[in-house]
Amino acid sequence: MADSASSSVQRARQSLADQLREILRDSGLKGRDLAVACGWYPSKVSRLLNAHTPPSEDDIRAWCRACGVPERAADLIATLRAVTGMFVEWRRMERAGLKQAQEARRPLYERTHRFRSYSSWLIPGLIQTPGYTTAALQAIQQRRGLVDDVSAAVAARMERRRVMYEGDRRFAFLVEESVLRSGIGGAAVMRDQLHHLATVGSLPNVSLGVLPMRPDRLRWPAEGFWIFDAAQVNVELISGYLTITQPSEVAMYAETFAELAELAVYGTAARTLIASAAELLG
């Protein structure tokens, strides 16, 4: 699986640079020739070819025009925009408030039919209680100094939960046992959340697996991620929000999800771990 936001983005940038290199090679031009044609310093061509500097849209148009293939520019610009949008810092995403950040994801949830979610930090959003969501978003709002629209953001996330009860959607949730035992919001909030988990796990379109804490695991915990159908992966990192659409990387996350699913327990065994965590709360 991708090691980090930076590694995934860098691979995508390198892929774009490789396409530019191929166009240059097929044109028969040398890097210095291209630089002269575009009015650049030769060092700029080198930086673009080695993915040290991302090209602008104008750079791509000039490159393709100089190489005699202006028709290639549109596809490369689309790729550039996808790379640019892969990683979004939390501060930029939440600049207009938490409510808008919640609502921005709604279309993705509404068009998805198969959801796979793995969490090593928190209970996944779709199966959170209002109290748990409130505690989580309040912590984010205070830590990042955002506008206080927590109540509206909680309402937006609760509204998004309706996708679980509409259509023929299927949901597979994997959570680490540590998520059950180290929560937020206090004992009362966590008790309510754990009871809700047991209820959600009984829905016919939901699979809920818990990965037990043990000293001999062969697959260590990873960053939390969501897989939407087979089209997109979203990863929530400390610094930002990573969107992955490259098929090979989506497949890597799907493979990791399958490996983690093999380690999880379900049904009665999962409910036992949930009940055990709830008992510790009193």
Residues 243 and 159 in one domain: yes
Residue with tokens 């059950």: 180
Q: Which domain, by its residues, includes 149?
A: 88-280
Residue 181 pLDDT: 93
Residues 37 and 103 in one domain: no
Residue 11 pLDDT: 75
Residue 89 pLDDT: 60
Q: State the helix-helix crossing angle for 5-27 and 73-84, rounded to 10 degrees.
A: 170
- How far is Cα 55 from Cα 53, in angstroms, rounded to an integer? 6
Residues 58 and 151 in one domain: no
Which among 32, 54, 85 is the end of a domain?
85
The DSSP annotation for 69-107 comes to -GGGHHHHHHHHHHHHTTEEEHHHHTTT-HHHHHHHTHH
Which among 69, 85, 101 is the end of a domain?
85
Residues 64 and 177 in one domain: no
Residue 247 pLDDT: 80
Residue 109 pLDDT: 94
Residues 252 and 123 in one domain: yes
Residue 104 pLDDT: 84
Tokens of 241: 């929000």
The residue ranges of the chain whose pLDDT is under 50 are 1-5
Evaluate the CA torsion angle 26, 28, 30, 36 in order and state its sign.
Answer: negative
Residues 50 and 98 in one domain: no
Residue 183 pLDDT: 83
Residues 180 and 76 in one domain: no
Using DSSP's 3-state secondary structure scheme, residue 168 falls into: coil
Residues 139 and 125 in one domain: yes
Evaluate the CA torsion angle 103, 104, 106, 107 in order and state its sign.
Answer: positive
62, 69 Cβ separation under 8 angstroms = no
Residue 3 pLDDT: 46
Residue 83 pLDDT: 75
The length of the chain, given as a count of residues: 282
Residues 41 and 113 in one domain: no
The closest of 18, 32, 33 to 68, measured between CA atoms, is 33
- How far is Cα 62 from Cα 68, in angstroms, rounded to an integer? 10
Residues 239 and 192 in one domain: yes
| CATH number of 141's domain | 3.30.870.10
Which among 85, 106, 123 is the end of a domain?
85
CA–CA–CA angle 54, 56, 57 (5° rounding): 135
Residue 269 pLDDT: 97
Residues 180 and 251 in one domain: yes
Separation of first and last alpha carbons in the chain: 39
Residues 78 and 209 in one domain: no
- Catalogue the E-assigned strands of the chain: 87-89, 114-119, 170-176, 206-211, 225-228, 232-236, 240-244
For the chain, how many structural domains are there in total? 2
